[in-house]
Structure 1
Amino acid sequence: MPTMRSALAALAVFGALLPAGCAPSPPTAPAGGAAPGPRAAAPSGANAVTVTLRVAVPASTPPSDVVHVAGDFQGWNPGSAAHALVRQPDGRWQIALPFEPGQAIQFKFTRGAWAKVEKGPIGEEIANRALVVPAGGGAFDFTVATWADLGTVVGTVEVFTHAPFLGGRTVRVYLPPGYAAGAARYPVLYMHDGQNLFDIRTSFAGEWRVDETCEQLIAAGEIAPLIVVGVDNGGASRVAEYTPWPADGYGGGGGDAYLDALRLVLKPEIDRRYRTLTGPNHTWMAGSSLGGLISVYAGYRHPETWGRVAALSPSYWWDDRHVIAWAAAAGRQFLARFYHDMGTAEGGSPDLNGNGVNDDVDDLRAMRDVALAQGFTPDGDLRHVEAAGGQHHESAWAARLPGALRFLVGTSTTAGVP
């Protein structure tokens, strides 16, 4: 591996990057308690037209809260009584305001404070909404994806700690629809960076929407119901836990101890607490970046435990691409399904060997070739995805997760490869 393949290599070691498009929008809330910004000129009255703003809000919106609109036309006041919307019989909120034809306005919806401003689908910052007022005014519809102060958990996600497991590390468990009412047992997918999987409030830079995605795919019959176990990363210990070997300049190398904790301490506790299918046919692992690296390593190192793995943007570059040569020497072992992917625009698309291909994609192809030589078949038990324009962050992984789950999980929970 080159000493520094890209800025991504260093940043990915310490956690997910800020999702593209998630840079803060133009300032809305007055900074540091300063006076509100300049207010756009009020309509003269004679030429004013009426603009009606209608907005649908998430089901999680507290029924006692009131939706407001804050914008450059009223000094960006998030709780102005004059700009409170009225709830309609269909559940949407509405306000009619006068503007000059051709007036350009910017605005956002709040629940009365900047701490309760609207956010994007995975909790990310969004740009100010913008509208140029038509000559005749009109009605305009909007949808709030999430609120800054509300969690984004969908379905059932239980959170617990187990003292013997990594000093009481937080574990987050998604249970499929119908779990509480039935007696069925389910396959289990273990995932890393648990903080980023289910809830924007606990995430570093956006969430994977694992709960939403599972609920949708299960309801559509596109995947079988499953349990997802999200294991929080250890912060400062993340690099050590997610790497099988140390790398010059980065440290690491505690992956075996981490996997031992998962398989010997956490897995028995999960199997005790929940109705699980316990064998390797039904025990799987997935992660991204270094979490993808340790997932692939786990599938080769402990085939008696993990029978399917998914690695999104795996850090195959770690320790001079050690895992690629190691997997070739280890042999296929049991692995029944192997998914991996890489965005073509990760890390600024470094191409140090000058072959016209992102170096990270080169590594992905090298691991694919190892798997093919071991008897994996393309789109049979191996799925290799090069995501055009894909980047290295939670929103990119959230977008690729449905495809990964469709392949990894499938629609059957019977033993072996469906």
Structure 2
Amino acid sequence: MKKNYKRLFLFLSVAVCTVSTVFAQYNITLRIVAQPAAHVEDSIFAAGNFTNWQPGKKEFNFIRDSGHLSVQIKNIPAAVFEFKCTRGNWEKTESTATGADRGNRLIMVSADTTIDITIAAWKDDFAAAVKPHTASKNVHLADTAFVLPQLNTTRRIWIYLPAGYDKSKKRFPVMYLQDGQNIFDEFTAGFGEWGVDESLDSLIKKGVPPCIVIGIDNGPERMQEYNPYEFKDFGKGMGDAYVEFLVHTLKPFIDKHYRTLSSKNNTIIGGSSMGGLISFYAMLKYPGVFGNGGIFSPAFWTAKGIKNLSDSTSNMLTGKLFFYMGALEGEAYLNDMNEIVETVAKKSDAMIYTVVDPRGQHNEQAWRKWFTGFYKWIMADGFNSVIELEN
């Protein structure tokens, strides 16, 4: 009974109200009414949570009809959906007129309707050099081509060392974050950065315990590397090999070359979307290595076996798990996460903090917004520590 009290005390959520019609199905027509003169011969696709975020799915190719390019999304429930227009991949996505990242478009479905779309510009028509470097002075490159022997490839590895690291003899907890190019630097981030370095710089000055942060870049096979299971739209999963790389290659290297606290209680893993999935999987597979996790907008829908694995191995989890989902990401994805959370809460001794942001979307801006609260909570001591998260 005491254990359950502690869990419920920390199982917090931002309230969200949703209204949906369970059995109603609607047809939505997306129609492009204006687009840039460049690339008019290229195929354009709608890519969103109704396409499993695949940027070039042929069923969602805009076809010219009555003078406009349009695509119909058939038989979808009353819900909120997110999407962007692409020319087949995420490097060729729509942007603002100045080349800045465009936020996801939202459709609030409650009836058959037609949505008119104006595409201001395409992201790949703007040079990457116009983006500023924003990494703080505490961010360094541990390696530009670190070898992943388990996957026969190399990857850039970032490291954040707390201010004063080089002048002290202290040892620090370590956080391993996926999609490293999106963590510290606007220049390398595809759709905006998390601002992890700025967040930690500020929090540490205010007395929050410091830690080392490792950012591991994703690669061209991200959808497979971050998935331990085969998924029909992406192919065979490589997640087991990737997690073995984290445990048997990267962590030993970091522990050897930097002043770390290497125990599971001082080792944190996190990521978003597919990165959230593989981070949670790593905790289940190696509960003696990763004691705490930040699971942001996890793509559990791509991993058919994750629910059964959670049911069979969650009893090994004893640390802290922070789960986040934006209500605007879609009810189905939220339900998937909540089912996992309920399993972990029932089976394990872990402390769980769940946030559902009623205005949250599936993007870096949302994950940046909640990272500070996650870090404050994950670094707090003891079962009775509750950190107030801003919404």
Question: Which residue, 200, 205, 211 being the options, matches 1:219?
Answer: 205
Deviation of 1:324 (Å): 1.9
**Mapped pair 1:311 → 2:284:** no
Distance 2:232 2:95 in 1: 35
**Mapped pair 1:331 → 2:314:** yes
Q: In the superposition, relative to structure 1, how do residues 242 and 149 fare at CA in structure 2: closer, same or farther (>3 Å)? A: closer
Pairing 1:16-31 to 2, within 5 Å after superposition: 24-26=95-97
1:166-216 deviation digits (Å, cap 9, x = unpaired) = 533110000111111111000000000001100011111111101011111
Q: In the superposition, relative to structure 1, how do residues 277 and 258 fare at CA in structure 2: closer, same or farther (>3 Å)? A: same
Q: In the superposition, relative to structure 1, how do residues 339 and 12 fare at CA in structure 2: closer, same or farther (>3 Å)? A: farther
**Mapped pair 1:228 → 2:228:** no
State the AA in 2 paired with 1:10.
W
Q: In the superposition, relative to structure 1, how do residues 172 and 258 fare at CA in structure 2: closer, same or farther (>3 Å)? A: same
> 5+ residue gaps in structure 2?
1-46, 58-81, 86-92, 104-128, 386-391
Counterpart of 2:133 in structure 1 is 151
**Mapped pair 1:274 → 2:258:** yes
Deviation of 1:335 (Å): 3.4
Distance 1:227 1:9 in 2: 33
TM-score by length of 1: 0.61
1:362-411 deviation digits (Å, cap 9, x = unpaired) = 1121111101211447xxx100111112111111111111111122222x
Question: Which residue, 170, 194, 201 being the options, matches 1:208?
Answer: 194
Q: Decide whether the 8 Å contact of 2:49 with 2:83 is kept in 1.
A: no
Q: In the superposition, relative to structure 1, how do residues 362 and 376 fare at CA in structure 2: closer, same or farther (>3 Å)? A: farther
Distance 1:397 1:225 in 2: 20
1:6-34 deviation digits (Å, cap 9, x = unpaired) = 335233999x9879xx964446xxxxxxx
Distance 1:23 1:206 in 2: 14
1:291-340 deviation digits (Å, cap 9, x = unpaired) = 000111111110121111111000111134x2122211123213311111
Q: In the superposition, relative to structure 1, how do residues 17 and 308 fare at CA in structure 2: closer, same or farther (>3 Å)? A: farther
State the AA in 2 paired with 1:174.
Y
Q: In the superposition, relative to structure 1, how do residues 155 and 417 fare at CA in structure 2: closer, same or farther (>3 Å)? A: farther
Pairing 1:365-380 to 2, within 5 Å after superposition: 365-376=338-349
Counterpart of 1:169 in structure 2 is 155
Distance 2:187 2:254 in 1: 24
**Mapped pair 1:405 → 2:375:** yes
Q: Alpha carbon RMSD of aligned pairs, Å?
A: 3.1
Q: Decide whether the 8 Å contact of 1:172 with 1:230 is kept in 2.
A: yes
Distance 2:336 2:223 in 1: 20
Q: In the superposition, relative to structure 1, how do residues 400 and 17 fare at CA in structure 2: closer, same or farther (>3 Å)? A: farther
Question: Which residue, 176, 179, 197 being the options, matches 1:190?
Answer: 176
1:200-257 deviation digits (Å, cap 9, x = unpaired) = 1111111110101111111122x3100000000012x211110011112221411110
Q: Decide whether the 8 Å contact of 2:316 with 2:348 is kept in 1.
A: no
State the AA in 1 paired with 2:273.
S
Q: In the superposition, relative to structure 1, how do residues 286 and 384 fare at CA in structure 2: closer, same or farther (>3 Å)? A: same
Q: Decide whether the 8 Å contact of 1:197 with 1:210 is kept in 2.
A: yes
Secondary structure, counterpart of 2:167 in structure 1: coil
Q: In the superposition, relative to structure 1, how do residues 383 and 252 fare at CA in structure 2: closer, same or farther (>3 Å)? A: farther
Q: Decide whether the 8 Å contact of 2:135 with 2:197 is kept in 1.
A: yes
Distance 2:55 2:337 in 1: 16
Secondary structure, counterpart of 2:191 in structure 1: coil
Q: Decide whether the 8 Å contact of 1:18 with 1:393 is kept in 2.
A: no
> How many positions carry a matched residue from both structures?
279
Q: In the superposition, relative to structure 1, how do residues 246 and 170 fare at CA in structure 2: closer, same or farther (>3 Å)? A: same
TM-score by length of 2: 0.65
Question: Which residue, 340, 365, 378 being the options, matches 2:323?
Answer: 340
Q: Decide whether the 8 Å contact of 2:171 with 2:259 is kept in 1.
A: yes
Where in structure 1 do 4 or more consecutive aligned residues deviate above 2 Å? 4-8, 10-14, 16-19, 22-27, 123-126, 147-150, 161-168
**Mapped pair 1:391 → 2:361:** yes
Distance 1:312 1:326 in 2: 19
Counterpart of 1:110 in structure 2 is none
Q: In the superposition, relative to structure 1, how do residues 383 and 376 fare at CA in structure 2: closer, same or farther (>3 Å)? A: farther
**Mapped pair 1:244 → 2:228:** yes
Counterpart of 1:73 in structure 2 is none
Distance 1:369 1:362 in 2: 10
Distance 2:281 2:252 in 1: 21
Distance 2:53 2:318 in 1: 30
**Mapped pair 1:382 → 2:366:** no
Identity of aligned residues (%): 30
**Mapped pair 1:7 → 2:50:** yes
Secondary structure, counterpart of 2:300 in structure 1: coil
